[in-house]
Amino acid sequence: MADDITILTEAELRRAVRLDLEAVAVVEQAFAALASGKVVMPPILSMAIPAANGEVDVKTAYIPGFDGFAIKVSPGFFDNPKLGLPSLNGLMILFSAKTGLVDALLLDNGYLTDVRTAAAGAVAAKHLAPADVATAGVIGAGVQARLQIEAARLVRPFGRVLVWARDGAKAAACASDITATLGIEARAESDPARLVAESQLVVTTTPAEEPVLKADWLHPGLHVTAMGSDQAGKNEIDPRALVEAGLYVADRVSQCEKLGELRSAIAMGLWKGGTPPELGEIVSGSKPGRVSEDQVTICDLTGTGAQDTAIATFAMAAARQAGAGSVIST
C-alpha cells in the first residue's frame, strides 16, 4: 500500500506556478545539475499511433538533490482539433526519489511543459544573449512564441518585439497579445530577414521542417534560441548557421544530434566542431558562454526530462504551500 497521493488539476497548477524568475531559477538549477554528470536521464520513450495520427512521448530524469523525480507523459494527437479537442495534453507523475512512491499526479495538460520550455529559453538568453537587447524577434505565433518572449524579457528588459509567422494574421494576433501582456511595443513583421536584422535576440518556435532562419541573416551580436525542433525531421535553422556562429550550444548533446538543429548540420556533413558545449556547462561555468558583444550565439533546445523533474518538484512545493490539491488515500 502506498501513501497518500496529491492530485493537482491544471487550474490549481496555473495558480501555483507562474512563468517568473523563480521558475527560471529552478530550470537553471536543473541545467547545472545536468552538467554535473550526476543526473540520470534515459532516452525518451516514444510511441506512434498512426491510426489516430497520434504519438506519445515519455520523459524522465533523476537529479541528485531533488526530493522527487517526475515522469512526464505527453500525448500529441493531431486530428483532435477536428473533434474540438486540443492536440497536446499530458500529465506528470511525481515520485519520491527515496522510496519510489507516487507523491503527486500533476494533471497539467501540458501547462508545466509550457512553463519549463519557456524558462529554458530564459536561461539561454540570460547566459548567451548580448547584455543589451533593444529588440527581440520571434518566429512563429503559437503559445511558445508568446511565452518565450515573456520569459526572455525576465532576463533582458527589451522594449520592442517583432513577430513573423507564415500566417500574417496570426503574427498580428500574437504581437497584439504580447503588447497586452507585457505593455511593450510589438508588431508583426512581414519579412523574417528584416526581423532578424533588427533584433539582438531571436527565438524560433515553429515545427518547421525547412529552415526559417537563414545563415546569411546572422549579424554580429545576435543570439538565436531555436526551441521548435524536438523530433528527427524538424529543422528551423539553416544548418550552415550552426557552423558560422561563434558559439553553438545544445541543451543535451545526445538529444540535439538526434532531435535538434544539430541533427541537420551533422546529416549535411557541415558539423566539424566535435562535441559542442551544453547549456548546463555554461550555467555552471565549466565552459565559457558569450565572450564578446559581437559574437553570434545559437542555443538548441530539444527539451529535457531534467526540466520536467525540476518544474514538477517546484510545482508540488508551491501547491503544497498554497494548500492546493485533493488527496487520495490508496
Residues that bind a second copy (CB under 8 A): 1-2, 5, 7, 9-11, 40-49, 51-52, 54, 56, 58, 60-62, 64, 69, 71, 73, 75-77, 80, 83, 85-86, 89, 91, 93, 95, 97-102, 105, 107, 109, 326, 328-330
Question: Locate cell 529559453: which residue?
Answer: 121
Residues 6 or more apart whose CB falls under 8 angstroms from that of 153 comprise 136, 182, 184
User: Helix (H, G, I), strand (E, B), or coil: what is residue 96?
Assistant: strand
Q: How far is the CB of 319 from a second copy (least distance, A)?
A: 15
Q: Which is nearer to a second copy, 94 or 141 (CB)?
A: 94
> At a CB cut-off of 8 Å and minimum separation 6, what does 64 contact?
33, 36, 38, 39
Judged by beta carbon, residue 85 or residue 268, the one nearer a second copy is 85
**Which residues, at least 6 apart from 90, have a Cβ–Cβ distance to it below 8 Å?**
72, 73, 74, 75, 108, 109, 110, 113
- In angstroms, the CA 102 to CA 10 distance is 18
Of the pair 226, 312, the CB lying nearest a second copy is at 312
Contact 282, 249 (CB under 8 A): yes
Helix (H) or strand (E) holding 8: strand 5-9
Cβ contact 91:308 at 8 Å: no
The least distance separating a second copy from the CB of residue 251, rounded to whole angstroms, comes to 19
Q: Look up cell 508588431; give the residue.
A: 187
Nearer to a second copy, 98 or 272 (CB): 98
| The residue type at 295 | Q
Minimum CB separation from a second copy for residue 39, in Å?
Answer: 10
89 vs 87: CA distance, rounded Å: 7
How far is Cα 130 from Cα 78, in angstroms, rounded to an integer?
A: 38
Q: How far is the CB of 312 from a second copy (least distance, A)?
A: 14
Minimum distance of a second copy from residue 52's CB (angstroms): 5
Report strand pairing: 5-9 vs 102-107.
Answer: parallel
Comparing CB distances to a second copy, the nearer of 61 and 222 is: 61
Instruction: Name 328's bridge partners.
Output: 5
User: Which residue number, 133 or 319, has a Cβ lying nearer to a second copy?
Assistant: 319
Distance in Å, CB of 33 to a second copy, minimum: 13
Rounded alpha-carbon distances, angstroms, from residue 85 to 114, 161, 269: 18, 31, 41
Which residues on neighbouring strands pair with residue 196, listed in sequence order? none
CB of 67 vs a second copy, minimal distance in Å: 11
DSSP element (H, E) containing 144:
helix 143-155
Quick one: DSSP state of residue 225? E
CB of 75 to a second copy, least distance (A): 3
Min dist CB 264 to a second copy, Å, is 24
Kindly tell me which of 102 and 188 has the beta carbon lying closer to a second copy: 102
Nearer to a second copy among residue 292 and residue 329 (C-beta): 329
Task: Select 17 or 298, whichever has its Cβ closest to a second copy.
Answer: 17
